[in-house]
Structure 1
Amino acid sequence: MRLIHRIAATLGGAALTLSAWAQTTLPGPVVSTQWLADNLANVQVIEIRNDPKSFTSEPEVVTTKDGKKQLEEFGGHIPGSRLFVAKELRTQREINGNKVSYMLPERAAFEKVMQAVGVLADKPIVLVPEGQKIADYNDAARLYILLKSYADTPVAMLEGGMVAWLLEGRPWSKEAPATLASTWRATADRLARYVADSPDVAAAMEKKDVQLVDPRATAMYLGIFKRDYVYAYGHIPGARNVPLDTLYVTRGGVIRLLKPEVYRAVFQAQGVDPTKPLITYCNSGNDSSLPWFIASEILGNAQARNYDGSLHQWTLEKRAMNAPVPAAM
């Protein structure tokens, strides 16, 4: 009889927990540190790190002479969060005889990674970038694309990232994540809805019915210099330049995203209509992930996609490029 009572109590507790998850509605694609602190028990936090050692190292926050908090050493994590190592966002694939690097993992491979991380099915997810540089937000947006493509679990991104959390004096841990039995499964396959390929981009270039958005530094867009894994200078003909440094501000040592109306104005000022079909691209598909997130999720453009292979694949395939300025020698 006691055993029955214990089982009933356990099941009752699980039901209450599931009910709490079900009642937790993410306020949008971006959540604040205060919202996360208030709802921490009812969401699962996934932190994206380039250096997994930072997850279990101790952060150091100091107070400057003028009374401001300053992060001297990055480390630690939000208590109970799960660790996702950023390198799992990129893999190599063979496409039409070319070995294309930096590609998103395919469905089955991504499912294995998420299960190893210990992600649960159905419980809302908040993605936490490191927040030390804008590339961290691109990593989080790239993982967001995968979650939107392969599952129906509600997902949002933490504005300000882990840096904001630490500078606000919120609780952190350096304990290694406990091993959890994952219930997460890749139950959908909507990759083509969010991700464009080379033929999509070629059609957009030729028909001019889909806008091409290039968020790289203007010097790369113009053809002054390039990355070594991109094999031609300049940009895809017809693309508009919306540099990443126009899409955020830094306040008090924290990278902050902008308001929707500011993003609309930035896109429009650069000749892009954020309400019409568009494809973002960069050198490898990573730096264009946040601009996609802004267009698709913050501005609600359901016709926004990110070109996964980007210029690495495009130039491997020897497709057309426009370089209006001679390369620096």
Structure 2
Amino acid sequence: MKKIQWAAALVLASMVSFVQAITLPGPVVSADWLAANQSEVQILEVRGDVASYVRSPEFEVDKKTGKKMLVEVGGHISDSSLLDFKKVRADRMIDGKKIKYLIPEKADFEKIIQAVGVNSDKPIVLVPIGLDISDVDEALRAYWQFKVYGEDNIAVLDGGMAGWLAEGREFVVSPSTKTGGNWTAKAERKELIANSEQVASASKSGKVNLIDARQPAQFFGLSKRDYVGAYGHIAGAKELAPELLAKTSKGALYFWDKNTYNALLTANGINPKSPAISYCNSGHLAAGGWFVLSELVGNKSTKLYDGSLYLWTLEGRPLVGVPLN
């Protein structure tokens, strides 16, 4: 009888634990939701400017209204970890060539994430700085890599740290001491990664949306990054400029709703329901296009071209653009 009671107690305890486990509301969480569930998740701040993690934020007071306005993000949410965006991507060998900016091998990515103290037992909320779409895309690139390696219990904080500070929420400037996490990859979803041959096929056939996630000047070939070997865009691509991907409120960037994204995509000649490949210069801004289509619009037939135009032009593949003087 005692054995039966003991077994029943174990079952009950496990059921209570299951019921109490927090469920993320979707790929994006609000500051209100995070504040209410802060102890139930792991907060991972993704930053290229790692010094800002321990630097006090800067505010200005509007002389007319007396309101305090955020000028520069600093500090971080209590009990968060810091992920250096410069360490998120890696050099890898492709056809005997060392290629920069690529997703790390599975074992290497596990080490990166474990080193900052992330575990497998709680949901993960990624926090960008949130002032510029480029820093938002840092978190979205990390999100995509987590997804490639099977992590589904993950979301991004809408508004980022900028929104958190603009709302007057608490922050700290102490260094993170978290190390030795046990996070492990649960899968390797190669279907989320486009290679050069798939991009070339999409360019030729027109059956897959090629989405260029760069600024118009780069899309049309008026300017380029120094590591990209030619001017312009891949033939057949449609532009989805990064400045279209989020709205500004109190200095922070927030995502639009699904209907707005569907309208923006359609207005740019992109069918929201068709298979798609997002690219940019190196695979950083492309994460924004991928996130919008895959996670917010719900088009799961969306890939990211890792290496993007850096790899494309390194392979001697052509771009098209407007004539330059």
Do the structures match in fold with TM over 0.5?
yes
Aligned residue for 1:230?
228
1:218-267 residue CA offsets vs partner (Å, 9 max, x unmatched) = 12111112111111111101101111112222222111211110100000
1:32-75 residue CA offsets vs partner (Å, 9 max, x unmatched) = 10000011010110001112221112223343221333123421
Give, as a single letter, the amino acid of the residue that structure 2 aligns with 1:63: V
CA drift at 1:202: 1.1
Aligned residue for 1:136?
135
- Do the aligned residues in 2 keep the contact of 1:213 with 1:280 (CA within 8 Å)? yes
Aligned residue for 1:90?
89
Aligned residue for 2:174?
175
Give, as a single letter, the amino acid of the residue that structure 2 aligns with 1:326: P
| Separation (CA, whole Å) in 2 of partners of 1:244 and 1:274 | 17
Pairwise CA RMSD: 1.8
2:54 counterpart (53, 56, 65): 56
| Separation (CA, whole Å) in 1 of partners of 2:97 and 2:227 | 13
| Separation (CA, whole Å) in 1 of partners of 2:160 and 2:26 | 16
Q: CA 1:234/1:21 → structure 2, altered by over 3 Å: closer, same or farther?
A: farther
Aligned residue for 1:118?
117
Aligned residue for 1:8?
none
Aligned residue for 1:251?
249
Matched, 1:327 2:324: yes
Give, as a single letter, the amino acid of the residue that structure 1 aligns with 2:315: E
Give, as a single letter, the amino acid of the residue that structure 2 aligns with 1:214: D
CA drift at 1:22: 5.6
1:78-132 residue CA offsets vs partner (Å, 9 max, x unmatched) = 0000110000122222212333211121111100001101001031011000112
Aligned residue for 1:284?
282
| Separation (CA, whole Å) in 2 of partners of 1:283 and 1:111 | 26
- Do the aligned residues in 2 keep the contact of 1:86 with 1:139 (CA within 8 Å)? yes
SS of equivalent residue, structure 1 residue 202: helix
4+ residue stretches of structure 1 with deviation over 4 A? none
SS of equivalent residue, structure 1 residue 306: strand
SS of equivalent residue, structure 2 residue 284: coil
Matches within 5 A, 1:1-329: 19=17, 23-65=21-63, 66-190=65-189, 192-323=190-321, 325-327=322-324
Give, as a single letter, the amino acid of the residue that structure 1 aligns with 2:224: K
SS of equivalent residue, structure 1 residue 201: helix
| Separation (CA, whole Å) in 1 of partners of 2:216 and 2:45 | 31
SS of equivalent residue, structure 2 residue 33: helix
Identity fraction in percent: 44
| Separation (CA, whole Å) in 1 of partners of 2:47 and 2:204 | 39
Give, as a single letter, the amino acid of the residue that structure 2 aligns with 1:288: A
CA drift at 1:21: 8.7
SS of equivalent residue, structure 1 residue 92: strand
| Separation (CA, whole Å) in 2 of partners of 1:193 and 1:48 | 25
SS of equivalent residue, structure 2 residue 23: coil
SS of equivalent residue, structure 2 residue 324: coil
Give, as a single letter, the amino acid of the residue that structure 2 aligns with 1:306: L
Give, as a single letter, the amino acid of the residue that structure 2 aligns with 1:95: I
- Do the aligned residues in 1 keep the contact of 2:48 with 2:138 (CA within 8 Å)? no
- Do the aligned residues in 2 keep the contact of 1:296 with 1:302 (CA within 8 Å)? yes
SS of equivalent residue, structure 1 residue 102: strand
| Separation (CA, whole Å) in 2 of partners of 1:291 and 1:44 | 25
Aligned residue for 1:7?
none
TM-score (norm 1): 0.90
| Separation (CA, whole Å) in 1 of partners of 2:177 and 2:232 | 47
Q: CA 1:283/1:313 → structure 2, altered by over 3 Å: closer, same or farther?
A: same
| Separation (CA, whole Å) in 1 of partners of 2:99 and 2:19 | 40
- Do the aligned residues in 2 keep the contact of 1:123 with 1:153 (CA within 8 Å)? no
Unaligned runs of 5+ in 2: 1-9
Q: CA 1:37/1:274 → structure 2, altered by over 3 Å: closer, same or farther?
A: same
Q: CA 1:171/1:305 → structure 2, altered by over 3 Å: closer, same or farther?
A: same
Q: CA 1:207/1:183 → structure 2, altered by over 3 Å: closer, same or farther?
A: same
Give, as a single letter, the amino acid of the residue that structure 1 aligns with 2:217: A
Give, as a single letter, the amino acid of the residue that structure 2 aligns with 1:116: A
SS of equivalent residue, structure 2 residue 35: helix
- Do the aligned residues in 2 keep the contact of 1:128 with 1:157 (CA within 8 Å)? yes
CA drift at 1:180: 4.0
| Separation (CA, whole Å) in 2 of partners of 1:229 and 1:130 | 25
CA drift at 1:152: 3.2
SS of equivalent residue, structure 2 residue 37: helix
| Separation (CA, whole Å) in 1 of partners of 2:152 and 2:122 | 7
